[in-house]
A and B are shown apart, each in its own frame.
Chain A
Amino acid sequence: MKVLQKTPTGIRGLDEITAGGLPMGRPTLICGAAGSGKTLFSMEFLVHGAKKYNEPGVFVAFEEKSEELAINVASLGYDLNQLQEDKLIKLDHVHIVRSEIEETGEYNLDGLFIRLGYAIDSLGAKRVVLDTIESLFSGLTNQAILRAELRRLFEWLKEKKVTAIITGERGAETLTRQGLEEYVSDCVILLDHRVENKISTRILRIVKYRGSVHGTNEYPFLIDEEGISVLPVTSLRLDHQVSSLRVSSGIPALDKMLGGEGFFKGGSILVSGTAGTGKTSIAGSFINEACKNGKRCIYFAFEESPQQIVRNMHSINVNLQEHLDTGLLQFSASRPTLNGLEMHLLSITKMVDKFKPDIIVLDPITNLITVGTASEVKSLLTRLIDYLQAAQITVMFTALAYNDNKTEQTDEGISSLVDAWLLVRDIELNGERNRGLYVMKSRGMKHSNQVREFVISDEGLKLVEVFLGPEGVLTGSARETQLLLEKTSVALRDHAVTRKDREIERKRLVLESKISSLKEEFESLQDELNKSYIEDDLKKNIMEDNRRQMTQKRDE
């Protein structure tokens, strides 16, 4: 079984959409309006062919002069003159002006054939671009001849076994003004340049690709200083690798709430809350912790400038500057209105591919809604999450909740997409506002259901256990007061206990002294009693003696 062979274009992303590139040895039609990037597209095809795949190419320009072309693509860093010298690329400018030509009967385009054939053979070219061949129609009048000759040209290109790109201007009702799609039927790619809400988006679509599977969606593409990149960011599958590794949030108490270890690597985290609840601070300390562990991070800021963020983070003892200096952290700050949504997605994924971060932060996604509808934003974030998950990159979004309503649904409706959702909420009590942090959800891990008070101090972010009193949850100074009250009562109780102890001691002493005096009394009494006993004995003895003496005397 013979499968259609393909020629890689080398254009970022396009080879993925086309599953390998353009059909090898066949012509491909690229059509689009003026300024849609056709020439650049075909030029990249040739340059990449020459540089990456060792396939020399011929560029036949019907509109631009060779020198102009060389200058135009020099801005992308391609040195066409050098490539021409190296015999890797041949530029040929076909100059045709109707007024200079008189048609005097039957003719054909053999001149073009010979010219092209000569160029192909002298280079051993494998790639050919005809940009824009429709110009022939304005130079020559005999349509019947032209059409027959074009058909012959495309057949001839196939015989030459070159992979060709033919560009065509978009017509009013047809893909090209002259209906070139009739002749080039193997592969047709449409480039478009749309402006919606004053924001432009470039779109690429594969209209047809005979004998091959291909993505049929509209793919946005970027033209920047690196040329064209098409990024097929789709969310067709849900079969990403998952990791059970954890990433610390940078706030120890928050990690504790998240099963003790933090977020899952490659997960998506949403931090939502009303204005001024410290979403950016959470993101900042998350990044800070990651960078300290040698991880690479990108911070996409849609609201503040990098300098502003660095300065503000400094006030809570988070030093992002040092991570910028070590190159672990990169900022990308742009107003959402700079690009269309698709362009944002493209530039994000492009930067991610280049920098290869472990963690990215988008702060805040709420602002994206200014350039798209809610459903578009959701679709963008879905694809972004899918893309990041596949690359095992942890992402933290912050989102502004406009109203402190009870539904707690973010306006982007993406809370169902993310793996973990932290909600920071104002708790207003006793004339002051305090921040309460909840873990609304955290897939695949045990997480705390408790509200924690979220304190932003000079030392950084802290989570404090809220006080659960008889009147409910207490925060801020109310919590402090309650703590003080408790302290006082403890002191008072301690005090009372010691006083009682002392009294007992005193009583004991009193009793003991009483006991000893009674004892002494008893002893003296005993002495007294003993004394009379002895006297009595003495009296008795003396009297006995006396009587005996008396008796003796009477007897004498």
Chain B
Amino acid sequence: MSEALQHYGGEHEEEDEHYVLRLFITGASMNSIRAVINLKEICEKYIKDRYTLEIVDVHQEKWRAEKEQLIALPLLIKISPVPERRLIGDMSDTEKVLRGLGIPQN
């Protein structure tokens, strides 16, 4: 699997780069659950072992909403590699998620 990934990222310099992702969700809402499932699936498929995913339940840490400029949720922030990117929604549009994260597709 890791070979396959290397193959995919072969022509890119960041092939070995580590993805730091932060997903803001709101408790157990439908969108949140779907977002978590969809994102994990994508990560496992495309950047397995090369990512750190922090999942934040905003309901538990309300003060972060202002600090992180949260409006639409669920929100996924790609902290690294730079540039920082923001993706909103339930991550059901895999193509857009990959594009947003800068992960080349097959």
Contacts and interface: CB of A to CB of B under 8 A. Distances in A.
Contacts of B63: 118
Contacts, number: 101
A116 to B, nearest CB: 9
B48 interface: no
A497 interface: no
B31 A102 contact: no
Interface of B: 24, 26, 29, 31, 34-35, 38, 58-59, 62-63, 65-66, 69-76, 85-93, 96-97, 99-100
Contacts of A119: 66
Given A96-B71, A108-B31, A109-B72, 17 more contacts: A95-B69, A100-B85, A102-B87, A102-B100, A103-B89, A105-B89, A106-B92, A107-B88, A107-B89, A108-B72, A110-B58, A111-B70, A111-B75, A112-B71, A114-B59, A118-B63, A136-B71
A103 B35 CA distance: 12
Contact of B100 (A104, A106, A109, A112): A104
B90 A106 contact: yes
Interface string A102-135: 1111111111101101110000000000000000
A38 to B, nearest CB: 21
Nearest to A117: B62
Contacts of B59: 114
User: Looking at A96, A115, A140, which has the most chain B CB atoms within 10 Å of its CB?
Assistant: A115
Nearest to B31: A106
A222 B38 CA distance: 55
Contacts of B71: 94, 96, 109, 111-112, 115, 136, 139-140
A102 B70 contact: no
7 contacts: A95-B69, A101-B86, A102-B96, A104-B89, A104-B96, A110-B72, A115-B71
Contacts of B69: 94-96
Contact of B24 (A104, A108, A111): A111
Nearest to B25: A110
Contacts of B35: 105
Interface string A68-112: 000000000000000000000000101110001111111111111
A111 B31 contact: no
Query: A interface, by DSSP: helix, strand, loop or mixed?
Result: mixed
A100 B85 CA distance: 6
Interface residues of A, number: 25
Contacts of A100: 85-86
Contact of A107 (B73, B96, B97): B73
A102 B85 CA distance: 8
A104 B88 contact: yes
B89 A110 contact: no
Contacts of A94: 69, 71
Contacts of B73: 107-111
Contacts of B65: 111, 114-115, 118
Interface of A: 92, 94-96, 100-112, 114-115, 117-119, 136, 139-140
B43 to A, nearest CB: 14
Contacts of B100: 102, 104
A101 B58 contact: no
B90 A107 contact: yes
Contacts of B26: 110, 114
A29 to B, nearest CB: 20
Nearest to A97: B86
B70 A104 contact: no
Given A110-B26, A114-B26, A117-B62, A105 B70 contact: no
B92 A105 contact: yes
A118 B62 contact: yes
A107 B97 CA distance: 14
A256 to B, nearest CB: 76
B72 A140 contact: yes
Contacts of B66: 92, 115, 118-119
Contacts of A118: 62-63, 65-66
Contact of A104 (B29, B58, B62, B91): B91
Contacts of A140: 71-72, 88
Contacts of B58: 110-111, 114
A110 B70 CA distance: 8
A115 B90 contact: no
A92 B67 CA distance: 10
Contact of A102 (B24, B34, B74, B99): B99
A483 to B, nearest CB: 91
A103 B96 contact: yes
Nearest to A62: B71
Contacts of A103: 87-89, 93, 96
- Which of A94, A111, A136 has the most CB atoms of chain B within a 10 A radius of its CB? A111
Contacts of A106: 31, 34, 89-90, 92
Nearest to A146: B72
Contacts of B96: 102-104
Given A108-B72, A110-B26, A102 B88 contact: yes
Given A101-B86, A102-B88, A105-B92, A112 B62 contact: no
Nearest to A136: B71
Contacts of B24: 111
Contacts of B31: 106-108
Contacts of A117: 62
Contacts of A108: 31, 72-73
A300 to B, nearest CB: 50
Contacts of B74: 107
Contact of A105 (B29, B62, B86, B91): B91
Contacts of B76: 104
Nearest to B72: A107
Contacts of A107: 31, 72-75, 88-90
Contacts of A92: 66
A102 B93 CA distance: 10
Nearest to B32: A110
